[in-house]
Amino acid sequence: MTINHIPLGVFGISHRTAPVEIRDLVALNEQEQKTAITSILKSFGVEGVMIISTCNRTEVFISKEDPKSVIPPIRKWFNDFKKSSYFLDDHLIYEIYGIEAARHYFRVINGMDSLIVGETQIAGQVRDGYELAHELEGTDSLLNKLFNFAMQAKKRVRNETFLCDGTVSISFAGVELARKIFSDLREKEILVIGAGKTADLAAFHFMENEMKNIHVVNRTYQKARDLADMYHGQAYELKDLPVALKNADVVISATSSETFVVTPGMMENIAKARNHRPIFLIDLAIPRDIDPRIQEIDGVFLYNLDDLNEIVEMNLKKREKELPKSQKIVDEYLLEFQKWYANNSMASIAGRLKKQLDTLRMNEIARLKNHFSNEGLNDINLLTESIINKVVRQHMKTLKKNSGDPERYQQHVDLIYSLFELEKD
């Protein structure tokens, strides 16, 4: 029996429905998440609650037999809590229920619903949300299993598809290209022309990727000195640019110069002096700092902002192509999750246990019916039914107690199956 009814609901706001200004206003910090989880558990009689809150989405997952009945009041509670009207705005907030809510969770954790398809950061943020809810005893067996299956799906998606491969940020596109020229960046020299914010940010990405030796050239020497000092590098005046270029492997140029800072004549001499050893130049300036004609020189590789953008676009397209393959994997795990629910949810266990005990009871009554009068039989019927209900309720009580601990919950489920010889689907 694979059941489509899963007592799960989610409501939220994301990059698909709201601009960043609104998303910022509804986002919940850790303390706010803690308050929200505790309050929802206390006030709305839900079995479990879990929150994902990032710069691109704020979503609340609710586990309850009839989530549709509690989500509207919870939305109102959030409105009051965040002192905003957005949580009641049906144009901004979406609600998803049942198996579709589970599918949504799987897609979110895999970065399939992200602004940048295949981004990997979201998985960590979902994990944080789950761990926080778990810590506050806000996760029941359903949410525990949902997270568990989603993580398994994520692992397979990463191993078997290219959904998360290839850089999708301009800075990292530069680093990736540098790796295709030099392989190992550790011993390479980076030269930054300009000392503004763009130059600093680009330098930071390269330094973060194992590069150690940085040189900075700037029209104002003091600014070059300041930036170089941040990375324990060396500063040069602009007139020393040819000397700095001669020793550099990676060059990032981001000045506000109106004319070319690096010209073909200058580069030709430098390339000869370097014996045409590869040099990778990234021109991030607008207007450009580096004359594009230097690209003709042997050993010189020049890329500008548009080129790097193209790489990012290309990688994004590749990721989008991987979506159907990823969806297939997600669907497989979704089916597994449904199967699990059909066999192991409290509602399912209660139903099966009741059915099995009823069968035993009815068999015994049928066997002994000649020994009792009709009246007596009625009393026995009522008595045994009441005992069975109590036994089932007692098991459900214990299961509920263990629902925050996935391992103990599963042990108890297995015990019930084995003790009462219940059949699995």
Partner 1 sequence: MKLFSQILSYALPLLYLGVIYFYYLIFTGKDKRLLNKTTGLLIGLLFIHAVEIISRLVALNAIPLSTTHDAFSFLAFSILFVYMILELSLKNKGSGLFILSFAFIFELVSSFNVSWTLETNPLLKDPSFAIHASVSIMGYTALALSALYALMYILQNRNIKKRNLGKLFMQLPAISYLEKMSARSVFIGIILLGIGILQGHLEAYDVMGSFWQNDIKVIVIDTIWIIYLIGYSASRLMRWRGIYMAYFSIFGFLVLILGGSMVIYVSESFHSFY
- Which of 63, 5, 39 shows the shortest CA–CA distance to 403? 63
Q: Does 275 bind partner 1 (CB under 8 A)?
A: yes
Q: Which of 295, 356, 398, 410 binds partner 1 (CB under 8 A)?
A: 295
Q: Does 328 bind partner 1 (CB under 8 A)?
A: no
DSSP state of 369: G
Cβ distance to partner 1 smaller for residue 119 or 200: 119
Q: Does 301 bind partner 1 (CB under 8 A)?
A: yes
The residue ranges of DSSP E strands in 20-140, in sequence order, are 48-53, 57-63, 94-97
Q: Which of 182, 221, 417, 420 binds partner 1 (CB under 8 A)?
A: 182
Cβ distance to partner 1 smaller for residue 314 or 415: 314
> What phi and psi values does residue 218 have, to the nearest 5 degrees?
-150, 155
Q: Does 314 bind partner 1 (CB under 8 A)?
A: yes
Cβ pair 325, 165 in contact under 8 A: no
Q: Does 303 bind partner 1 (CB under 8 A)?
A: yes
Q: Does 247 bind partner 1 (CB under 8 A)?
A: no
Q: Which of 161, 234, 253, 348 binds partner 1 (CB under 8 A)?
A: 161
Q: Does 324 bind partner 1 (CB under 8 A)?
A: no
Cα–chain center distance at 308: 25
Please state the closest distance from residue 162 (CB atom) to partner 1, in A. 6
Q: Does 305 bind partner 1 (CB under 8 A)?
A: no
Q: Does 155 bind partner 1 (CB under 8 A)?
A: no
Residue with tokens 């207007």: 287
144-177 burial, b for 16+ CB within 10 Å, e for fewer? bbbbebbbbbbeebbeebbbbebbbebbbbbbbb
Please state the closest distance from residue 166 (CB atom) to partner 1, in A. 8
Please state the closest distance from residue 189 (CB atom) to partner 1, in A. 14
- Strand pairing category for 48-53 and 57-63: antiparallel
Cβ pair 89, 35 in contact under 8 A: no
- Strand pairing category for 8-14 and 94-97: antiparallel
Q: Which of 162, 221, 417, 420 binds partner 1 (CB under 8 A)?
A: 162
d(CA 118, CA 375): 68
Please state the closest distance from residue 182 (CB atom) to partner 1, in A. 5
Cβ pair 190, 217 in contact under 8 A: no
- Total number of residues that touch partner 1 (CB under 8 A): 24
Q: Which of 3, 116, 151, 181 binds partner 1 (CB under 8 A)?
A: 181
- Which of 14, 52, 46 shows the shortest CA–CA distance to 33? 52
Q: Does 16 bind partner 1 (CB under 8 A)?
A: no
Q: Does 180 bind partner 1 (CB under 8 A)?
A: yes
Radius of gyration of the chain (CA): 31
Cβ distance to partner 1 smaller for residue 314 or 382: 314
Please state the closest distance from residue 198 (CB atom) to partner 1, in A. 21
Which one of the spans 46-54, 135-143, 271-279, 366-374 is the region binding partner 1 (CB under 8 A)?
A: 271-279
Q: Does 298 bind partner 1 (CB under 8 A)?
A: yes
Cβ pair 323, 117 in contact under 8 A: yes
Mutual angle of helices 99-109 and 121-135, in 10-degree steps: 120
Which one of the spans 47-55, 87-95, 145-153, 177-185 is the region binding partner 1 (CB under 8 A)?
A: 177-185
Q: Does 53 bind partner 1 (CB under 8 A)?
A: no
Cβ pair 307, 290 in contact under 8 A: no
Q: Which of 159, 259, 370, 418 binds partner 1 (CB under 8 A)?
A: 159
Q: Which of 276, 390, 401, 424 binds partner 1 (CB under 8 A)?
A: 276
Report the greatest alpha carbon distance in the chain.
114
- 55 annotated active-site: yes
Cβ distance to partner 1 smaller for residue 68 or 277: 277
Please state the closest distance from residue 403 (CB atom) to partner 1, in A. 36
Give one word for 276, left, alpha or beta, with left for phi > 0 and alpha for psi -120 to 50: left
- The alpha carbon torsion through 406, 412, 417, 418 (nearest 10 deg) reads 130
Render 26-38 in DSSP notation, one character per residue: H---HHHHHHHHH
Catalytic residue from among 1, 20, 55, 419? 55
Please state the closest distance from residue 181 (CB atom) to partner 1, in A. 6
Q: Structure tokens of 292? A: 């594009």
Residues within the interface to partner 1 (CB under 8 A) = 159-162, 166, 177, 179-183, 275-276, 278, 295, 298-299, 301, 303, 307, 310-311, 314, 318
The residues annotated as belonging to the active site are 55
